[in-house]
Structure 1
């Protein structure tokens, strides 16, 4: 029943989200199976992405907003990450959702990519995904990774956390991921795309019984 509720709330939660004090840009997303980077939905995991004027406002909303309380009450587990955008380029639903600080902080960072895939490219795009998923799943440097999206197959988001910028760049420049990036540029796969990097400010809750960031944020 909880999974059915969460799926239905992809539509019904929108009015409640829009009424949260202080909220800026927000999106409700489902996820993929396996490593998350697959075309097959995982009806047990959902993501809510929001922007806020500051961390204090974000924490207060997480604590007080009734819609977030309902999500936690229905969940077997929940995990919230607080971040500050370092760099961002591109658009999401026609807007630039993140206000970058142009920081170049040392240490762990998160990367988010989002794209609207052209329908005629779907087969070529998803043909490459299993190889990328396999490589990132085997990479000992990635601290966390998941594929999410607003509309299955067409609107895709990848989110990953890395120990530092150098090891993230090494992954991006080599193997299947680098080949896919070249194809995106050469063949124009996307109608809209966004890339952003974030400094990690803290987290609440657990994923798989622990915080994937516990050691990194306590150093």
Structure 2
């Protein structure tokens, strides 16, 4: 996995890619899950996507070294914010009134790390108890400093009920008022299909 990032830059039709570590438990996590990695990719077109997963030697090598692969095919509904200065999901499609996926990503200001991590257990407990949550996993590039969550919900109403719950609103208010983040991104997706390999 350490050698993979440079190889991702030359994949035809892939406009954005990140190899991410994962955390154990719910939401943001101090404790890594060394058994699981996340590969986030945004494709120019379906032809390029299909070629990578069906024909490319790189994906075949990843598959041969994995105990299992779960692939979520997503369609961007819209994203706010940036990831190292760019919006990786610029396209905006209509919500299909079905399952919805969310990626929230933050680059935390170093002097705000203690405040951020103080509230992580409360946020993790809230999402663990959230109604309509199908799946969630903490993902990120750098432990402690760059954190993200990937979650799938039964529908948009369930996702919004969690987002607007008192505990979550309290934390978001602190994020804004105390300037916890150097950079952040909130992105939503239609879940087209999920495959297990």
TM-score (norm 2): 0.94
Greater share of helix: 1
- CA distances 1:92-142 after superposition (whole Å, capped 9, x unpaired): 011111122241321111111111000111111111111111221222410
1:41-88 CA-partner distances (Å, limit 9, x unpaired): 111110000110123321221222222222211111111111111111
Structure 1 stretches of at least 4 aligned residues deviating more than 3 Å after TM superposition: none
- Structure 1: runs of 5 or more not aligned: 1-8, 207-219
**1:38 maps to 2:29:** yes
What's the counterpart of residue 22 of structure 1?
Answer: 13
Could you tell me which residue of structure 1 aligns to residue 73 of structure 2? 82
Shift of 1:176: 2.6
**2:181 maps to which residue?**
190
Once residues 198 and 168 of structure 1 are traced to their aligned partners in structure 2, the CA distance between those partners, rounded to angstroms, is 12
Deviation at 1:15, TM superposition (A): 2.4
Tell me the residue number matched to 1:164. Answer: 155
User: The residue matched to 1:202 in structure 2 has which SS?
Assistant: strand
- The residue number in structure 2 matching 1:64 is 55
1:62-211 equivalences under 5 Å are: 62-205=53-196
How many correspondences in the alignment?
A: 197
Structure-2 separation of matches of 1:56 and 1:131: 43
**Larger relative contact order (Cα-Cα within 8 Å, sequence gap ≥ 6):** 2
Task: Tell me, in whole angstroms, the C-alpha distance in 2 between the residues paired with 1:41 and 1:87.
Answer: 29
Match of residue 52 from structure 1: 43
Distance 1:193 1:53 in 2: 24
Say what the alpha-carbon RMSD is for the aligned residues: 1.4
Note if contact 2:26-2:124 (Cα within 8 Å) is conserved in structure 1.
yes
- Say whether the 8 Å CA contact 1:128–1:176 is kept in structure 2: no
Cα distance, 1:178 vs. partner? 1.7
Distance 2:9 2:97 in 1: 35
Partners in 2 of 1:36 and 1:89 — Cα distance?
20
Rounded to whole Å, the distance in 2 between the matches of 1:15 and 1:122 is 29
Q: Note closer, same or farther for the CA distance 1:75–1:36 as it changes in structure 2 (3 Å cut).
A: farther
- The runs of 5 or more residues in structure 2 that have no matched partner are none
